[in-house]
Amino acid sequence: MQAIGFDTERYLQEQSQQILDRVKEIDKLYLEFGGKLIGDKHAKRVLPGFDEDAKMKLLATMKEQVEIIICIYAEDIENNKVRNDYGITYNEEVLRLIDEYHAYGIPVNSVLLTRFAGQPNSKVFIKNLTNRGIKVYTHRAIQGYPADMDTLFGEEGFAQNPYIETTKPIVVVSAPGANSGKLATCLNQVYHEHRRGLKASYAKFETFPVWNLPLKHPVNIAYEAATVELNDVNMIDSYHFDAYGEVAVNYNRDINMFPVVRRILEMVTDSEAVYQSPTDMGVNCIKAGITDEEVVIKAANQEIIRRYFAIENAFKKGLYDNEVRRRMQILMEESGLQPTDRKVVQPARAYAETLQERLATDEHQCVIALELPDGQIITSRTSPLMDASASIIVNSLKAMANINDQIDLLAPTILNTIQQLKEDALHSRIPTLTANEILIALAISAVTNPSAQLAYEQLPHLENCQAHASYILDSENEQTLKRLGINITNDPIYGKRNFFQQ
């Protein structure tokens, strides 16, 4: 069983009250949601016990007062930007979010395309949403935003972008990812609300960094690691200290933007700003849910190492430059961490080296090591029948079900038939079975094979297991393992000489 260090229920109680308090003396609150509203796997990993859908469940407790605007940056549609944890594009993520919000009974007011300039793919996306009955708005970029106040409050500023009609007192502004234009959307709406005579305000719900944890707390460093490509840096909020004499942690973008945001709010509302610091703007009660700091610290350090491997792989693929890689290395050094502090790393590397020596080959061996809930380390390798991702599932399930390793969990006739299908009908050059194919074979076999049924029943226990691969996994296998809840990392080494796998 995973050690628990966070109480979601306690957190939800305090967090909901914090948000409701902000609405008491105004007509409308525009609440910018940073991070992920649904499926916040980073928070789940860093705060063991955190419900990855906690923020959505929080809003569900006040759903009669809430509606949602989803922002997406038009260029992210144009560039087919991908959400890595699900392997889907940002525009697909918007569709997924709409379904998720509706499932919780929270209405989606509309989808807003920010910094829209007539991009072709964005026009197709707008038509797709419109044909499905979703209201769509577009906002164009404002020259000089956010510092040029004359432009912002002139005809080419907020006034040029349409007002989004809303009816609820709390309007959540969310997005599929960072830099989607949520803040500009909130400010634009507050501007239009006040022109209509309503008293509106803005607040930010950003889970990380945690303002009332130390600057160098592993949870806050893990946030820096998660956003290292954005060059986010945690800092002491000097505005907060000057105003209250209290140390609070925020990050560079919010601190740098605060004087401008405060000035905009003053001009929009024609009154003195209600916020004295960027921390004031936040409604974050995450610390209230931490019940075992030692567990949380350990989990956060492991997340930092996972992020290190992710950056090393992205660098290998040419996605990031050496500056991003170096920043990540510095975070590792500051935290006193080594890659091998991740328990499954060394067993995977050692097994790969042993195989390479045994086979007398210079080709890197594809190996995965996985730590079971009881602490046992299971290893697997790629063979002509199964790749390492498929075999680690089989080996792990057999170990958890106490099935003798010599017993065939899946009938060879079934596996051979699938391989023939791949080669003959699907014309695949690589007949080796993948993780997804093995799971389907297991599900079918479980109907008639008691051993397969016993192994199949162990699948939920793979949730939160840690694994490491000695090679770069293909995206299909990586996503399959992640959907099983396995936290997989890998060394930045290509295991096969094939440039393309199909």
> What is this structure's pTM?
0.89
Helices 293-316 and 322-335: angle between axes, nearest 10 degrees: 160
Q: Residue 499 has what pLDDT? A: 53
Which CATH number applies to 344-490?
A: 3.40.140.40
- The single residue listed with the structure tokens 């190996």 is 367
Where exactly are the structural domains of the chain?
1-207, 293-339, 344-490
Terminal CA-to-CA distance of the chain, rounded, Å? 37
| Bridge partner list, 250 | 235
Cis, peptide link before residue 48, omega less than 30° from 0: no
What whole-number distance in Å separates Cα of residue 144 and Cα of residue 139? 15
- Please give the average pLDDT of every successive group of 10 residues along the chain, which has 502 residues: 90 91 90 85 95 90 93 95 82 94 94 97 97 97 91 92 96 91 95 92 92 96 94 94 96 90 86 84 93 97 98 94 96 97 98 91 91 96 94 97 89 89 87 94 93 96 96 93 96 74 47
- The single residue listed with the structure tokens 């003053």 is 266
Q: Residue 500 has what pLDDT? A: 52
What whole-number distance in Å separates Cα of residue 306 and Cα of residue 45? 10
Residue by residue, DSSP assigns 436-469 as: HHHHHHHHHHTTT-HHHHHHHTTGGGGTT-EEEE
- Candidates 1.20.58.710, 3.10.630.10, 3.40.50.1100, 3.30.43.10; correct CATH number of 1-207? 3.10.630.10
Q: Are 289 and 8 in contact (CB under 8 A)?
A: yes
Q: Residue 502 has what pLDDT? A: 44
Q: Residue 496 has what pLDDT? A: 67
Q: Residue 476 has what pLDDT? A: 92
Q: Residue 38 has what pLDDT? A: 83
Q: Residue 411 has what pLDDT? A: 86
Q: Residue 497 has what pLDDT? A: 56
Q: Residue 231 has what pLDDT? A: 87
Q: Residue 406 has what pLDDT? A: 84
| Bridge partner list, 31 | 172, 203
